[in-house]
Amino acid sequence: MQMTAKKMSDRGLLALVRHEGIVPGPYRDVKQVWTFGIGHTAAAGLPDPATMPRGMPADLDAGIREAFRVFRDDLARYEAAVLRAVKVPLEPHEFDALVSFHYNTGGIAKAALTRHLNAGDRAAAAAAFMGWLKPAAIRPRREAERDLFAKGHYPAGNIPIWSVDRNGRVDFSRSIRRLTEDEALALLRPASAPVPTQTIVAPSWWRRPLDHFKGRATS
């Protein structure tokens, strides 16, 4: 067994983005923390979602692309934190599961699963994923991360994009678009994959004046 890479695999990236979902405007998460895009908060660095223009961007494609750009920047920090915390060799699917866990919890350095893993007890490490179940709605994700770690089971399917209103409320009743895995990979690996024709490259749209944005969802 050996660590074959210091970055998540493509399937691991897709699994993580699918867990997080994509909201191309600032929103309040279940803990009322301002969040943007693919689970980005100010704790991970700039941009600070609390200072971003509210509602959906006028250019949805540019907003989606910005969400992926910020995610790629954030991801490197979480991958590095897992590599620092784990002292034993990992299979790629184990690394993918641990980065997904840490991206959601920020707890890789203190988690019991890390202690079990470093002690060589992978069965106990897998079981310890289920010690992180707040809020209760996170259970399906934690089960998926556990199964990815223990069995290499990757989820599949299209990736939803959700709308958000000017008050930071996300409408989860229906997605406004779904990305195929190929479309998502083109945004995740822009240097090595073709960009979908409907996606428009645009610079840092959150820095534009507020009148460039529209609140498309109803309050």
One-character DSSP codes across 170-194: EE-SS-SEEE-HHHHHHHHSTTTSP
> Model confidence at 31, in pLDDT bands (50, 70, 90)?
confident
The stretch 21-30 carries a mean pLDDT of 95
The stretch 159-184 carries a mean pLDDT of 95
∠ CA 49-8-202 to the nearest 5 degrees?
Answer: 40
- The pLDDT of residue 88 is 95
Tokens of 15: 């699994």
- The pLDDT of residue 210 is 33
- The pLDDT of residue 191 is 65
Residue whose tokens read 């399906």: 140
Write the pLDDT tens digit of every residue in 46-56: 999 999 999 99
Cα of 148 vs its chain's centroid, Å: 16
Distance CA 71, CA 169 (A): 21
- The pLDDT of residue 217 is 34
> Model confidence at 84, in pLDDT bands (50, 70, 90)?
very high
pTM of the model: 0.83
Q: Is the pLDDT of residue 198 over 80?
A: no
What own/partner pairs with CB < 8 Å and gap ≥ 24 does 166-169 have? 166/54, 166/55, 166/215, 166/219, 167/54, 167/219, 168/26, 168/27, 168/28, 168/34, 168/54, 169/27, 169/28, 169/217, 169/219
The stretch 87-91 carries a mean pLDDT of 95
Q: Domain 10-198 carries which CATH code?
A: 1.10.530.40
Q: Is the pLDDT of residue 83 over 70?
A: yes
